[in-house]
Amino acid sequence: MYIVNYTSDDFKDICDRVDTVIIPVGSVEAHGHHLPLGTDIFSPRLFCKEINEKIGDRIWIAPEVPYGQSYDLSIYPGTVTVPSEVMADYLFHVCKSFYNNGLKNIVFLNGHGGNITALGLAAEKLVDLGAVVVTINWWLDFSKDILTVTEGQGHAGEDETSAVLYYNESLVQMEKATKNFNKQLYPVKFKDRGKTIFRDAITGDATLASREKGEKIFDLLEDRIINIINLMEKGKYFE
């Protein structure tokens, strides 16, 4: 159920039985020369659509948060970046409002790696209120599943490009797809990461992408995500 489509009265009545909200989070960011700036919001959006079709009577879906922390790629045209601490504070207050409305289970469905720090900071403060929070980074948490479909992963690489092809082929300029196999040796931050590790705003091999691979990725992962939501609703956090 998309929150924005319901009246205040409807929301109040439904919250008597529904206490879980999904918040899609992405970024506006350069993705090579072939993918649109909205790539990181398109995958969470499509996951939400497919999840809504399966368990939409049990969950709320909040409006998207389209901007994120994208310092490394801010050197490329069109990228918008928000500091992690600012984003974390914003997300905390948005989710605090949901919590105060009776939604104790909060799912961040994240499409952008740069958001992970902000989401973690927001989650820590929300847990102190009494909320239960899970962050799902679809390309990272389900990497093993994705690699049964693709040969590799990367920013604007084979997996992300396949995902956008499945979302909307007309948005992808495959004739501009390239490769960049630079990999950092360890988790290091330095000023020129955007020019080196993320050369041309891409990592991996986008030329291997296909719509069919994107469809397989979504078919696999939507069930994984729904399983997490099921466990969350049951209050099962460990075994």
Q: 106 near 135, Cβ under 8 Å?
A: no
In the chain, what's the furthest Cα-to-Cα distance?
Answer: 54
pLDDT, residue 239, reads 86
| pTM, full prediction | 0.94
Q: Parse the chain into domains and list their residue ranges.
A: 3-229
How would you classify residue 200: left for phi > 0, otherwise alpha for psi between -120 and 50, otherwise beta?
left
Give the count of beta carbons closer than 10 Å to the beta carbon of residue 107. 25
pLDDT, residue 174, reads 98
What is the mean pLDDT for each group of 10 consecutive residues in the chain (239 residues)? Answer: 97 95 98 98 97 96 97 96 98 98 97 97 97 97 97 97 98 97 89 91 97 97 96 91
Q: Fold for domain 3-229?
A: Rossmann fold (3.40.50)
Q: Report the C-alpha gap between 231 and 239 in whole angstroms.
A: 11
pLDDT, residue 157, reads 97
